Amino acid sequence: MHHVYAHRGSSAAYAENTRAAYLQAIADGADGIECDVHLTRDGRIVCHHDQTVDRTSNASGRISSFTLQELRELDFASWKGREIPAAYGGLHDQLLTLGELVDLAATAGRSIGLAIEIKHPSEFGRGLEDAVLEELTALGWEATTSRIGDVTVSFMCFDAGSVRHLGRRVPAEVLCQLVTGENQKKVAGLAERGDELGARVAAVVYGSAREGVPAIEVGIAGLAGPGVAWVRRHEDTVRGWLDAGTGLRVWTVDEEADIRFLARLGVQEMTSNDPKHTRAVLDSLARA
């Protein structure tokens, strides 16, 4: 059985990491939803991808420079150019805290996965991971099962140090090491343009394979999270992981050719911007 995770929610339909995108993901029948988390200036965990709000809001600055209330006043949805149905909340209801997303996932009325991507580098260091676990524990998270009611929580990061840190408290089977190929030219290009923050983020992402692959192979992470392009370039390695019983959660899987390729390979989980489409293709393959 192949499971489909909604990448930042149904982000092909509505602005990523918003209430509307997550509610649409549940309506689309996604087996799980994926979010990215950061800490605000006042220590609240919010669902947002970038280190800054520049790309996805009507303001600029680092997430960590805003309080939660200040972020609530921003518009995180209009850039998508899609009207939000009233049932999905108002314009200033779209930013979610981690706790609010857990509550939203619980409304699915069925078992559902919640994949939390820890975003690094963070000014808060491993305090970000600790805050996430503290918040989840307050919500009723059980470390041994990694469940809160019908919600199964998993954790992901490109930073192998984060994965090792989480591994002290999180079962390996719900711990995902994200992996992509090296791209030192991109890191250097960002640095040359004066984008120091972008370069540091890119260094984490594009350096993930060096320590991340060993973390997968020694079992610190029971889930491997490579990008689909990485899988195509390292198919033998991925087949070896699958043969060893490692779970695969591959991103970002929207194209039919990729869906078919990964299904034939035996990949168990696919993360998609359009989970309804990805599920439809998988269902058609199952009927064939």
Active site residues: 7, 49
In the chain, the amino acid numbered 168 is R
50 Cα distance to chain centroid: 12
Asked if 254 and 13 touch (Cβ cutoff 8 Å), the reply is no
Selection from 58, 62, 66 nearest residue 119 by Cα:
62
Cβ neighbors of 214 (< 8 A, separation 6 or more) are: 160
Quote the CA–CA distance of 276 and 116 in Å, as a whole number. 21
Quote the CA–CA distance of 246 and 216 in Å, as a whole number. 8
Asked if 6 and 275 touch (Cβ cutoff 8 Å), the reply is yes
For 37, 50, 70, 178, 187, the CA distances from 117, given in Å and listed in that order, are 6, 12, 23, 9, 21
